[in-house]
Amino acid sequence: MSLILKLKKDHFNVARCILIVLLGFTANLSAENLNDQNSKTKNQKLIFLNWSQYLDPELVKEFEQQFNAEVSEVYFETSETMNGILAESGGRGYDLVLMTGIQVDAYRSMGWLAPITEKQIPNLRHVGARWRTAYIGVDGFSVPYFWGTLGIGYRSDLVLEKPTTWKHLFNPPVSLHGKILMLKDSRDLIGIALKALGYSPNTNNLKELAEAEHLLTKQKPYVKDYGYIEMSPQSRLITGQIWVSMMYSGDVLFARKFHPNIEYVIPEEGANLWVDYLVILKSSSNKKLAMAFINFLNEPKNAARLATYVHYLSPNTAAEKYLPKKLLEDPVLKVTPNQLKRSEFNKTLPPRIVKEHNRIFAQIIH
């Protein structure tokens, strides 16, 4: 099944979509040029806006030594938080940013992103075409970082019945009351409620959104919290405060480092498919260094090390031969053709639907 999305949307509406979210939160280089950066980028600092635990610190150290530079990470918890950070700074003060596919197209439409080509980042040739074009507007302005699914993570030693459907979270047995964590992300939270009802997460139907709001409201008394599972021994999934949660596939593997009884399932209704991308802000004064860093991360052996560290499959196809067999064959990361058929990528929504998502989200999490 092809993963290339053929999305059609008006660029003006895309820009308006991202502006609605933002307001809610008040150089050509050849391969030789890149390798010469260590003599040209003395004491430069690369500011990377990123998820926590989403970059191998050992690879960072090697890059810093090789390029005489410093990589400083600024973390965000949700996509909405990231939008707020960029809105507050006007897109300035950051060089490299981790974004979702629909965010890339929105920021590209606003003119905030620097263009990216294989001439500037030669190792881009190792990245699979399906990931480079999975969303409209990402090719030429971003580099795929990782991909995966959003499903259900749970403690197999605590739950009485294996969750096989999203309905298990929305109409939970009494034993799960107060033991559920839902993601604090408007698209994913509302999208999964829609999925549980048999609708598309990308629906434009207000009646279907109203049903999703009702389902989320009905579920709310049973939810322990809206947030994310921490990747540490103190994680609530590890300590037993949380028994079942919406989770990203790779996070399950990371959490298993601290507890062996954490399992993962793609529900019968299907999962959310996603691709994360690296982008360079047009306002960055360190574009060459940012490109050198992306190129460094996409050296096949480095890409394999990074994937092994974060426990996600890399879109860098040349990295596959360096990946541990255990990671490649792990059932948590594998997606069957049938599961793919029932799963969807998030698409850009019209402004009026974005506004409704924001209203529902605010109503549920507060």
Per-residue pLDDT tens listing for the chain (366 residues): 333 333 333 443 444 444 444 444 433 444 445 555 444 445 799 999 999 889 999 999 999 999 999 999 999 988 888 999 999 998 899 999 999 998 999 999 999 999 999 999 999 999 999 899 999 899 999 999 999 999 999 999 999 999 999 999 999 999 999 999 999 999 999 999 999 999 999 999 999 999 999 999 999 999 999 998 888 888 999 999 999 999 998 889 888 889 999 999 999 999 989 999 999 999 999 999 999 999 999 999 999 999 999 988 899 999 999 999 888 888 888 888 899 899 998 888 999 999 999 999 999 998
CA triple 169-171-174, angle to 5 deg: 95
User: What proportion of the chain, given as a percentage, has pLDDT over 90?
Assistant: 69
CATH 3.40.190.10 fits 11-147+275-335, yes or no: yes
CA triple 11-17-18, angle to 5 deg: 100
User: Are the C-beta atoms of 105 and 212 separated by less than 8 Å?
Assistant: no
Number of Cβ within a 10 Å radius of residue 201: 22
Sequence ranges of the domains in the chain: 11-147+275-335, 149-272+343-365
CA distance 264 to 249: 7
- Residue-wise pLDDT for 248-284, tens only, equals 988 898 888 899 999 999 999 999 899 999 999 999 9
Q: Where are the beta strands (DSSP E) in 193-323?
A: 223-227, 244-248, 262-265, 272-280
Q: Do domains 11-147+275-335 and 149-272+343-365 have the same CATH topology?
A: yes
Number of Cβ within a 10 Å radius of residue 55: 19
- Helix residue spans in 24-115 (DSSP H): 31-35, 57-67, 79-89, 101-109
pTM of the model: 0.79
- Residue-wise pLDDT for 334-343, tens only, equals 888 899 899 9
Q: Residue 91 contacts by C-beta under 8 Å, 6 or more apart in sequence?
A: 112, 281, 282, 283
Beta-bridge partner residues of 244: 154, 180
**CATH annotation of 149-272+343-365:** 3.40.190.10
CA distance 161 to 122: 49
Q: Residue 234 contacts by C-beta under 8 Å, 6 or more apart in sequence?
A: none
User: Are the C-beta atoms of 97 and 279 separated by less than 8 Å?
Assistant: yes
